[in-house]
Amino acid sequence: MRYHPAHSIFLGVSLFLSVSACDWQSINTDPIRRAEATLAEQLPVAEAQTVRNLSGQGGRLAGIIIQHFKGIDAQPESYSAYLIDEQASNTFWQSGLYTGAMKDCFLIMQQADATQDHAYSAIARILMACNLGILTVCWGDVPYQEAFVEEQPVYDAQETIYAAIQHLLAEAIDLLAQADSIPGEDDLIFAGDLSLWKKTAYVLRARYALHLTRRDPQAAERALSFLAKANYADLQTQPDFPYQAALNEANPLALFSIERPDQLALGTGLLELLQDKSDPRLPYLARSQERDWLIYDEDSSLFWTRTDTDYPLISLTEIHFLAAEAHLRQENLSAADHSFREGVRWHFRQMEIPPQHLEQWLLHLPDLREATSHDALREIIEQKYIALFAQGSIEAWVDYRRTGFPQLTVPDNANASFNPSLVIPRRFLYPISERTVNNRHWQAAVDRQGGQLLDQHLWSFFP
């Protein structure tokens, strides 16, 4: 883990987030946050909660669905059986997203725009885009345009949300070019390095372009264009949020595992893939105990549940896999194979696995130049799926819904109550707070998308 100069203010951010986790009166009313907070006070909180949204409750739930994780006790065990009701994501929707990171981003944007503080405005837009991306891939149509100005906001169509994400990121890039002052240690991710924020905005544009491979025939071309502008091959520092060894500064998955030991194990889909391929990464991800592979041990030998493992907004390994898929779709097999191998290489490096394991493993990987398009795509998405464990379960879920890879089997104990088709769930149910507080617009969104069940398709991934 790299040293970050802003560690001294991390504890304050952690305490703020613990207060912010309570239930709110509505998605627009937050009695805790001060309207007069400075940009420097608001930014680290927005950054911390955004990364927590990727790797905390929402990431764990998506990880159970996509079989990165398997629940073996308490609530996670019921989620593994698809008993994922309106309560399951209620706190995530309210406290994590709308009155959490997104409200902070909205306030930063308002304040920074008014004072022409372009750097803060740009970073807030990048973070807002990330949170919007989480929302729309989990629920489809969601409130955005009216979310912070109306008590009962309308739901924007998912197609509109994707356009808003790209617009936010394009605005951020323009604002970064105009910035004449930069944040300092309050920027916990890049410590005010605006060139790295610009690269991050571009690679996020590539991610969200590639989400739409089922809708946009030019998705791969757009993604490659954004990656070229990012010059991602030179992005040696990924946008990590720094965590520390102390419990009040620990990463969300480690903290969950410490507080709720033996509730999560390695998911069946991921475990079978790793075992079938004799993948050397397995003992770095989980430890075998009786029938399950647990994702946490007290010796801190498992990379993702060490308290001080940093979590990224988007990882270098994901960026290389984005490039590999985009090159494949453009029929540039040589470039696809190169990026595919770089994606694997960066994952081994990220997890601090000894180089000899990497070099041996690279010899086992297929040459995409000699594979069919179907098999090459399967290999890319399977390796990306492994690499996204813990740090990108939501994105792995996106990949499954738009490509069908990796091939997963519905658990034998799957319950049909909220998933009558008994498929790998395609969405979350809207939270109960929306049905009770924003019923009219909730009902319109439910009707427009065909109902309120886990097996219903989202626009972006169907047909």
Q: How far, in Å, CA of 374 to CA of 405, rounded?
A: 10
What single string gives the DSSP state of each residue in 48-95? HHHHHHHHSHHHHHHHHHTTSEEE-SHHHHHHHTT---TTTTHHIIII
pLDDT at 272: 98
Q: What is the pLDDT of residue 6?
A: 46
**296 in Cβ contact with 263 (< 8 Å):** no
Q: What is the pLDDT of residue 237?
A: 84
Place of tokens 């690279």: 362
User: If pLDDT is split at 50, 70 and 90, which confidence band does 27 have?
Assistant: very low
Classify residue 128 by burial, with Cβ atoms within 10 Å: 0-12, 13-18, 19+.
buried
Confidence band, pLDDT 50/70/90 cuts, at residue 19 = very low
22-31, 115-124, 204-213, 404-413, range with the lowest pLDDT: 22-31
Beta pairing partners, 69: 266
What is the predicted pLDDT for the residue at 30? Answer: 53
- Pairing type for strands 69-71 and 264-266 reads antiparallel
Question: DSSP letter at 370?
Answer: G
Residue 301's closest CA among 323, 289, 286?
Answer: 286
What pLDDT does 233 receive?
66
User: How much is the average pLDDT of 205-217?
Assistant: 98
pLDDT at 23: 35
Its pTM surpasses 0.85: yes
pLDDT per residue over 33-90, tens digit each?
Answer: 545 799 999 999 999 999 999 999 999 999 999 999 999 999 999 999 999 999 999 9
Closest to 161 (Cα-Cα) out of 176, 184, 139, 194:
139
Identify the band that residue 12 occupies on the pLDDT scale cut at 50, 70 and 90. low
pLDDT exceeds cutoff 60 at 14: no
pLDDT at 20: 43
Distance CA 89, CA 108 (A): 26
What would the mean pLDDT of 160-182 be, rounded to a whole number? Answer: 97
| CA distance readout (Å), 175 to 110, 121, 143, 412 | 14, 7, 25, 51
Q: Which of 165, 205, 207, 157 is nearest to 396 (CA)?
A: 207
Q: Is the pLDDT of residue 25 over 50?
A: no
List of domains in the chain: 7-29+40-250+263-270+285-294+302-312+410-454 (1.25.40.390)
Task: Give the pLDDT confidence of 328-361 residue by residue, as tens digits.
Answer: 999 999 999 999 999 999 999 999 999 999 999 9
Please tell me the predicted confidence (pLDDT) of residue 36: 73
The predicted structure's pLDDT at residue 11: 46
Residue 355: strand, helix, or coil? helix
105-117 per-position pLDDT tens digit:
999 999 999 999 9
Residue 234, pLDDT score: 61
Closest CA to 405 of 428, 429, 386, 419: 386
From the CB of residue 2, how many other CB atoms can be counted at a distance below 10 Å? 7
Q: Chain-wide mean pLDDT for the chain?
A: 93
Q: What is the mean pLDDT of residues 359-387?
A: 97
Q: Which two tokens stand for residue 335?
A: 């470039």
Whether the predicted pLDDT of 396 surpasses 70? yes
For residue 93, is pLDDT > 50? yes
Q: Do 251 and 357 contact (CB within 8 A), yes or no?
A: no
Average pLDDT of span 211-220: 98
Quickly state the pLDDT bin for 26 (edges 50, 70, 90).
Answer: very low
| Contact of 344 with 382, CB cutoff 8 Å | no
pLDDT of 3 over the 50 cut: no
How far, in Å, CA of 48 to CA of 4, rounded? 14
Higher pLDDT, 36 or 128: 128
CA distance linking residue 268 with residue 70, whole number of Å? 7
Portion of the chain with pLDDT greater than 90, in percent: 89
Digit-coded pLDDT (tens) for 134-158: 999 999 999 999 999 999 999 999 9
Largest Cα separation within the chain, whole Å, is 60
N-term to C-term CA, the chain? 42
The DSSP call for residue 86 is T
